[in-house]
Amino acid sequence: MSQQNKRFESAPETALDWYRAGRGVALATVVQTWGSAPRRTGSMLVIDDQGRFEGSVSGGCVEGAVVVEALDAMNDGEHRLLEFGVSDEDAFAVGLACGGTIKVLVEPVGSALPIDLLEQLVAARAGRQALAYEVNLELGVRRLLHDGHADRMRMDRSGMEDDDETFVAVHNPPLRLICVGAVHIAQALVPMARIAGYDPVLIDPREAFASADRFPGEVIVDDWPDEAVAKLGLDARTALVLLTHDPKLDDPALQAALTAECFYIGALGSKRTHAKRLDRMTAAGFDDDQIGRIHGPIGLDIGAASPAEIAVSILAEMTAVLRGKAA
């Protein structure tokens, strides 16, 4: 398992595993925050009937109280909406300058949170399907939505709706960076992207470039790029970056991306190189809208000179496109 997948919020999967093992289980989720709350909205904690827990809703400030409430909720089968004030002293202990307030939803699995709904959620996450979990806190009505809440999904922003009754938890697949070309820029870009929350994969059939010595601990695919992206898949949470300067390597992956849903396509090269690239895509039958998705020359124009600076510009442009900002 890659490092990014290890960081991927796994509370739903843990809750389902524990429930299937015969343990009483509850999920606790941060639904609203004010001030300098230790954990963002949507953060989750899973608790079993013995008081064991995994995850975090506050960085350690209120977990004990949430566990006690979760044990009571498992007994009566009803969800609970809890509110906590985090003191300045407790906030400082978890690395914040000042305190805040959080609301936490506690849902016993199998009663308040139906097991079939949890199973559907876990299956969708395993299949890299983006969806929203919506719960009306007044009525207790819950549903999974594959469409809707587009702004929340794009911004990865769980939270309460304007009616102050409906909580929406965003469950997006982990972000993924597919980088064609294990070149010097990739050596800077890959670790930066990992810090930013991406799960990077390097594609390069050239042994001299795609070596573990140059990219220790990284996922490296030595297939030809068209074969590699076909195996990996290109979805709406994937960014494709082309860095080889070689049309034999870049173009097959680029053509696959132009017919897929990946949110970002970037290609390294000068304006002259990029113009030739566009001509090749036109000759291959792609229309203006498809070709217009290519960001080239790649990255924001920040005057980048070194490989690391170019990597910064690429990651910044990826972020802008992901979040719906003009790059």
At position 71, the amino acid (one-letter code) is L
Which range of residues forms the domain containing residue 297? 175-322
Domain boundary among 123, 151, 171: 171
Q: Judge contact between 100 and 91, C-beta under 8 A.
A: yes
* The total number of structural domains that make up the chain: 2
pLDDT over threshold 60, residue 6: no
148 in the same domain as 70: yes
Q: Give percent above pLDDT 90 in the chain.
A: 81
274 is a domain residue: yes
pLDDT-derived band at 214 (thresholds 50, 70, 90) equals very high
pLDDT over threshold 50, residue 2: no
Can you tell me the distance from the alpha carbon of 246 to that of 209, in angstroms, rounded to the nearest whole number?
14
81 is a domain residue: yes
278 in the same domain as 163: no
Q: Judge contact between 185 and 195, C-beta under 8 A.
A: no
158 in the same domain as 185: no
pLDDT digits (tens, 9 = 90+) for 263-313: 999 999 999 999 999 999 999 999 999 999 999 999 999 999 999 999 999
Q: What is the DSSP string of 55-90?
A: E-SSTTSSHHHHHHHHHHHHHH---EEEEEEEPHHH
Which of residues 115 and 154 earns the better pLDDT score? 115
126 in the same domain as 249: no
Q: Judge contact between 161 and 137, C-beta under 8 A.
A: no
pLDDT reported for residue 33: 85
Across all residues in the chain, what is the average pLDDT? 91
Q: For residue 273, how many other CB atoms are within 10 A of its CB?
A: 14
pLDDT reported for residue 189: 98
pLDDT reported for residue 267: 97
327 is a domain residue: no
**What is the average per-residue pLDDT within 254-271?**
96
Q: Which of 21-25, 57-61, 66-70, 312-316 has the lowest mean pLDDT?
A: 57-61
Can you tell me the distance from the alpha carbon of 179 to that of 189, in angstroms, rounded to the nearest whole number?
9
pLDDT digits (tens, 9 = 90+) for 9-59: 689 999 999 999 999 999 999 999 876 666 789 999 999 999 999 998 876
Q: Judge contact between 282 and 299, C-beta under 8 A.
A: no
pLDDT reported for residue 195: 94
Can you tell me the distance from the alpha carbon of 220 to that of 199, in angstroms, rounded to the nearest whole number?
12
What CATH number is attached to the domain comprising 219?
Answer: 3.40.50.720
| Alpha carbon of residue 8 to chain centroid | 7
pLDDT digits (tens, 9 = 90+) for 96-149: 445 678 899 999 999 999 999 999 999 999 999 999 999 999 999 999 999 989
Q: What is the pTM of this model?
A: 0.79
pLDDT over threshold 90, residue 185: yes
Tokens 């009566």 map to which residue? Answer: 76
Tokens 């230790």 map to which residue? Answer: 38
